[in-house]
Amino acid sequence: MKKQIKNVFLIQSVNAFIVGILTVVLPLLMEDRGINIVSIGLIYASLPIIFQLTRMGFAILSDFIGRKIFFLLTGIMNVFYTAIYYFASGPLGFLFGKVVEGTKEASIWSVNRPFILEHAKNKRKGLIQMRAIDSVSTALGSLIAGFLIAWLFYPNTIILTLLIGLLIIPFALAMKDKRVKRFDVIKAYKLLDYKRKGKFFKIALVILCLMGLSYGLIAGYVFPLFLKSNGFNVEWIGLLLGFQTLLAGVFTYFCIGKIKLWKLIFYSGIAYSIVLFLLGVSSVLISSILVILFLLFGIVSGAVDAGVEGIFSRVADSESYSIDIGLLFMGFHSARTVSLMLSGFLIASFGFIAPISLSAFIFIGYFILAYRTFRKT
């Protein structure tokens, strides 16, 4: 079992490392190729909706036919979507790349949590470890991204990510599924039936919907272009994003079993909202204060991530891990798509302060509702 979980962690780390590099490279590449901020926002908005639509299909299938094939698909799709970005020159090319990237992300995220829930003795600890590894690997990718752009330029950096993505395939082939069942259409329909879920599950859907609205306003391209607008070069943008994500990963791991779930949600939510709001108004402050706030945001984000994984460990049912997690994320990604589409227009009209500050206020609703719900369980 430990070997199987280790393979998941290896696949997750390689995938996250690529994501970390492209988090810095992609929005700067789009801007370099003449795509305006509103179009960038709309392109990024396509990812969560594609992700969620394909994720539900993968989730249903994986609960019956196994997880291995979807880890393998992750490796194959990594090659495809990075190749598309290499050749993309206009909005439609990058949009197609986001569609393929969304499918790739759906492939891995539809099976990584369920696989760990099936194999780990301590489910909450296993999920938080996976999330911490994901954050640290993403951070390492972001840390070197700016230097890769400076040394290799955009096209060669993307080619490098394509080659790194090939490493996922042998790790996936070495995996073994714990169980494989015959596909049952009637049972799958029952597991998908929202009305059959309990009140607790439905409240969790609303909670994640609020989180999605908040996250979408600052997702993807926003922070890299926010930093660039404040005078940071590509090396500094990569370093700051990398250290922020690294701190998030470290503090996610630090929160394993250290505090009750409802307390973690409440205190991390207060800190997250305050730091994010201050970050939104920090563009009128000196750059050193902006850097401090940016790194503090990584710390509080890590604590928030640990709370989210705790929610999954409480809500998902053992008979349908993938389907339940997919349903929980349905509201999250639908809301995230809407706010991502809105973010570009807000930035164009009012500057970066608008989406970042609005995100902070919406997040208050998330953590208060989550705190009230999980304090009772």
Q: Which residue has 């929980």 as its token pair?
A: 328
Question: How many domains are contained in the chain?
Answer: 1
- Tell me the pLDDT band of 181, cut-offs 50, 70 and 90: low
Q: How far is CA 149 from the centre of its chain?
A: 23
Count of other CB atoms within 10 angstroms of residue 371: 20
Instruction: State which residues form the domain around 207.
Output: 2-174+188-374
202, 209, 272, 298, 358 from 371: Cα distances, Å: 15, 15, 14, 21, 20
**Is residue 183, in this structure, part of any structural domain at all?**
no
**Is residue 179, in this structure, part of any structural domain at all?**
no
Q: Which residue has 């306003």 as its token pair?
A: 217
pLDDT digits (tens, 9 = 90+) for 99-133: 999 899 888 888 888 788 777 677 767 777 887 78
Considering the chain, what is the average pLDDT of its residues? 82
CA dist 83 and 49 (Å) reads 22
CA dist 221 and 213 (Å) reads 16
Supply the CATH number for residue 282's domain. Answer: 1.20.1250.20
**Is residue 182, in this structure, part of any structural domain at all?**
no
**Is residue 181, in this structure, part of any structural domain at all?**
no
- In this structure, are residues 132 and 253 in contact, taking their beta carbons and an 8 Å threshold? yes
**pTM of the predicted structure, to 2 decimals:** 0.74
CA dist 158 and 152 (Å) reads 9
- What long-range pairs does 226-233 form, CB within 8 A, spacing at least 24? 226/283, 226/352, 226/356, 227/294, 228/28, 228/31, 229/283, 229/352, 230/283, 230/287, 230/290, 231/287, 232/287, 233/146
**Is residue 180, in this structure, part of any structural domain at all?**
no
pLDDT digits (tens, 9 = 90+) for 311-355: 776 776 655 566 777 777 777 878 888 888 888 889 888 888 899
The gap between the terminal CA atoms of the chain, to the nearest Å, is 30
CA dist 167 and 144 (Å) reads 19
Maximum Cα–Cα distance across the chain: 61
pLDDT at 240 over 60: yes
